[in-house]
Amino acid sequence: ALIFTLVACGSEEKNETQEMTAVSAAAETTEKTSIQDAANQADTYLSIMAFSYQGLIDQLEFEGYTTEAATYGADHCGADWNEQAVIKAKDYLEVMPFSYSGLIHQLEYSGFTSEQATCGADNCEADWNEQAAKKAESYVSDGSASSREELISLLETAGFTDEQASYGATEAGY
């Protein structure tokens, strides 16, 4: 009986080692699959909307990918981050008016580098006078400004130049 027990223990240890090796190999395969899935998911996200590099990593992590897999996905998705900044800038301008500097700040807040954000603002084809006029209208409609001077001051505080602010105030009827 003693010999049988030793053989059984040795056999269990061998089976346990084989199981651990199989589990380790399965985990490695799962991780490789997860990394490739993250790269594919990154491509899918970028086909739907613009992201900064960091924003894409954050989104992939939110979806449950590890930091390693999410970073791999962002690194290997083939994105042109300057192009993503331009697309995101245009998206922002469709929703609300921005000054040039305000748009750069918003893009940086969204995770784009200063250079990428500047590229986005430089290439989004915005008419900054029109942006000032839209922003002036919003200030007038919410009662923020009661005079031309006050409206111009608000527009300049939002980052518009004096010329753009004057244009915006005139377009808003002030």
Confidence of residue 5 (pLDDT cuts 50, 70, 90): very low
Q: What is the pTM of this model?
A: 0.80
d(CA 30, CA 168): 57
CA within 13 Å, CB half, 26: 6
- 47 contact partners, CB below 8 Å, separation of at least 6: none
pLDDT for the residue numbered 31: 52
* Residues whose CB falls within 8 Å of the CB of residue 170, separated by 6 or more in sequence, listed in order: none
Mean pLDDT in the chain? Answer: 87
**Alpha-carbon gap, residue 83 to 111, rounded angstroms:** 14
pLDDT of 19 reads: 43
Q: How many CB atoms lie within 10 A of CB 121?
A: 25
pLDDT per residue over 132-166, tens digit each?
999 999 999 999 999 999 999 999 999 999 999 99
Percent of the chain with pLDDT over 90: 79
Cβ(148)–Cβ(169) below 8 Å: yes
Reported as a single tens digit per residue, the pLDDT across 95-104 is 999 999 999 9
